[in-house]
Structure 1
Amino acid sequence: MAGGKWQRMGKVAAALAGAAAAALWVAPGGAQAAGAAPERLSGTGLFTDAAHGVVAPGVLRYTPQYPLWSDGAAKARWIRLPAGKAIDASDPDAWRFPPGTRLWKEFSFGGRRVETRYMVLGRDGAWTYATYRWLPDGSDAERAPERGLRGVAEVAPGVRHDLPAAGDCRACHEGGPTPVLGFSALQLSPDRDPLAPHAEPPAPGDVDLPALARTGRLRGLPADLLARPPRIAAPSPRARAALGYLHANCASCHDARGALASLGLDLAQRVRGGDARAPLATAVGQPSRARPPGMGDAPLRIAAGDPGASVLVRRMGSRDPLLQMPPFGTKLADAQALDLVAAFVRDDLGPATTHPAAPVHQEKNR
């Protein structure tokens, strides 16, 4: 990719982080992430045998029902809580984790482990992030530079996967009410969405919401969430899946409780005190600040009934670094999710009233 385009990508990432103002989550007392992660993944406590994937005692595997799109990567995820400590789940939409909590996410392409991302909560309340690149022989993984690494694995012809910079991790994880993404009451609900794009069935032994409560790893969880597990109460199965996808892939930034609240776009689904359709009020019929080429001077975030006139759909389908959403982290548009969200806009939100029909626009992946 030409140097100019990389510079433009950097500006996009910087703009996102800058708009977040405190794209570093600040702990009480003003502390920020400090300290260095181990040089090798084997030093983080995930495995007793990294080469064969033998997980250490006390490490719990989990599978969120709405996974983040990562260019088709196969993923495995784990968490380890300090002995005798529990998650404060009294706010089911923003769990608070005890110091010493560790999480890992492993990315594989073509059956080969490529990277593992790691985050650990320090005693000062600040998170440290690191990315590890797997060695060619699969025996261990080495910590990548803070600036990240480009082009470490092919994900499609002519398209290669990048390891994120530490700033990329912070921009995604620290823009909302909790830095831990994908491990929540909704994501771990046993009432799983069968239409969720790229849904992965939980592996034997994976923990879910009831298992965490049963083993004393949650405190303060409202009891009714065990009697009636969290579920997006959408008017149709397709709407449920579309709203869940937007929650997982967009709401880490676009959350009314987050650093980008001033943008007025809230795509987060809430277990407590929220109508599943409430986020649509911030998108349907609302003017977009972005002006994608060919969409006129006053495009809408979502034009009901018309995905081709909806900026949200257009940006999902683009991988122009100045237009794409999410702004970084993927090189390939998610075709399955694009079809789902376009159908949701066209068929579930009713006929267009202010825009003529237009085809869904998916740009060539770059």
Structure 2
Amino acid sequence: MRLLVSACAMAVLALSAGASEPAGVADAVILSDGLPRSLSDYGFFKDASAWQPNDRVVPYSLNTPLFTDYAEKYRFIYVPEGQQAKANGDGMIDFPVGSALIKSFGYEIDGKPRLLETRVLLHRADGWLALPYVWNEEQTEAVLKVAGARIPVTFIDPSGKKRSISYGVPNKNQCKECHALSDAVVPVGPKARNLTHDGQLAEFAKLGLIDQEPKIEYRVPVWGETGAPLDDRARGYLDVNCAHCHNINGSASNSGLFLTYEENMPVRIGINKRPVAAGRGSGTHDFDIAPGDPDASIMIYRLNSLDPGISMPEVGRSIVHDEGVALLSRWIAEME
């Protein structure tokens, strides 16, 4: 599916290159003080089922994406006509006021992709606003669900296993748990170092979406890319799945566990680090990462748990990411 999305993305990018003005995106809605009731109010898509983006609504994909119960994700960036985002090296792209990030979640069911929700991040004059929209059965509209929702879904995971889950759409306040930095809502996904495949950054610059193609000192590898070093893949996985909270300014800063890709102090990424507050979340284990022993590591214990008081991440999953746990377990097992 990832290759298909990338191919579609490049096709749309090529078509968008000739566009001279936005066609249908409602800038006034993005910038307004209100909470639009329907996804279609924004005009991000040409079709009601949200598969054909409007001009300047550009698809993108990440080297390593956040795990969300094996959901497929379809990501788009919108930057208003006459403006550009600023690419500042490896880190987060700086989007101007009036921009939007759109991410739809869904599964392939009975051979067809089906959307469950679409989340939007709107950059308004007073900062970023995160809103969740839930799709109807007919797949013709997604409506605002400030309180979130639970959606029963059955799908086949990448290993061929049939899964039945109660998929969780976060409420408006839960969005802040991942998207908060120093108490302000911010984007967390589109870091330049995680956008390096398929020539995306060069294409963004060509389209005028960003001011320049940034020089990348180190890229986040595809976590399942077996040819890449194990340490790089594990650190990339942690950067994407954990570091939005576990960073020096994030909501988990008081833990002393900092999992950003650029962190280089072993104890700060958990190696032989005791938890700040021992409790149920640590089980009977002493260290966040016990080198050579994944089964004795709090990190693996929490990633393997579905108990709301123990599991990590705290929101965004209702099942264990088996492949992610296997990757991190191997990484810890090979530590000396």
TM-score, length-normalised on structure 2? 0.78
1:302 to 269, 279, 289: 289
Q: Which amino acid aligns with 1:181?
A: V
What CA distance in whole angstroms lies between the structure 2 residues aligned with 1:151 and 1:132?
Answer: 13
Secondary structure at 2:204 match in 1: helix
Instruction: Determine if contact 1:95/1:178 at 8 Å carries over to the other structure.
Output: no
Q: Which amino acid aligns with 2:132?
A: T
- Paired residue total: 290
Displacement of 1:157 = 5.1
In the alignment, which residue of structure 1 is the partner of 2:305?
318
Instruction: Determine if contact 1:92/1:221 at 8 Å carries over to the other structure.
Output: no
What CA distance in whole angstroms lies between the structure 1 residues aligned with 2:181 and 2:32?
Answer: 18
What CA distance in whole angstroms lies between the structure 2 residues aligned with 1:294 and 1:85?
Answer: 47
Q: Which has the higher contact order (CA 8 A, sep 6+)?
A: 1
1:282 to 260, 269, 276: 269
In the alignment, which residue of structure 2 is the partner of 1:245?
237
Displacement of 1:65 = 0.7
User: Cα deviations across residues 275-305 of structure 1 (Å, max 9, x unaligned)?
Assistant: xx44664310000234347843x61000000
Distance verdict in 2 for CA 1:290–1:94, change over 3 Å = farther
Specify every segment of 5 or more residues in structure 1 that has no aligned partner in the other structure, as ranges: 1-32, 191-201, 351-366
Displacement of 1:41 = 1.1
| Amino-acid identity (%) | 27
Displacement of 1:83 = 1.0
Secondary structure at 2:254 match in 1: helix
Instruction: Determine if contact 2:154/2:164 at 8 Å carries over to the other structure.
Output: yes
Distance verdict in 2 for CA 1:137–1:64, change over 3 Å = same
2:100 to 99, 102, 113: 102
Secondary structure at 1:218 match in 2: coil
Instruction: Determine if contact 2:90/2:218 at 8 Å carries over to the other structure.
Output: no
Alignment of 1:53-132 (within 5 A): 53-90=51-88, 92-109=90-107, 110=109, 111-124=113-126, 126-132=127-133
Instruction: Determine if contact 1:40/1:143 at 8 Å carries over to the other structure.
Output: yes
1:254 to 246, 269, 277: 246
2:190 to 159, 168, 183: 183
What CA distance in whole angstroms lies between the structure 2 residues aligned with 1:40 and 1:122?
Answer: 18
In the alignment, which residue of structure 2 is the partner of 1:338?
325
User: Cα deviations across residues 234-261 of structure 1 (Å, max 9, x unaligned)?
Assistant: 9962221111111100001001243432
Provide the alpha-carbon RMSD of the alignment.
2.8
Secondary structure at 1:253 match in 2: coil
Displacement of 1:221 = 6.4
Distance verdict in 2 for CA 1:261–1:313, change over 3 Å = same
User: Cα deviations across residues 116-151 of structure 1 (Å, max 9, x unaligned)?
Assistant: 111111022x1222111111111111111x221123
What CA distance in whole angstroms lies between the structure 2 residues aligned with 1:220 and 1:261?
Answer: 32
The answer as to 2:176 corresponding to 1:165 is no
Specify every segment of 5 or more residues in structure 2 that has no aligned partner in the other structure, as ranges: 1-30, 156-161
Distance verdict in 2 for CA 1:122–1:220, change over 3 Å = same
What CA distance in whole angstroms lies between the structure 2 residues aligned with 1:60 and 1:294?
Answer: 42
Distance verdict in 2 for CA 1:148–1:294, change over 3 Å = closer
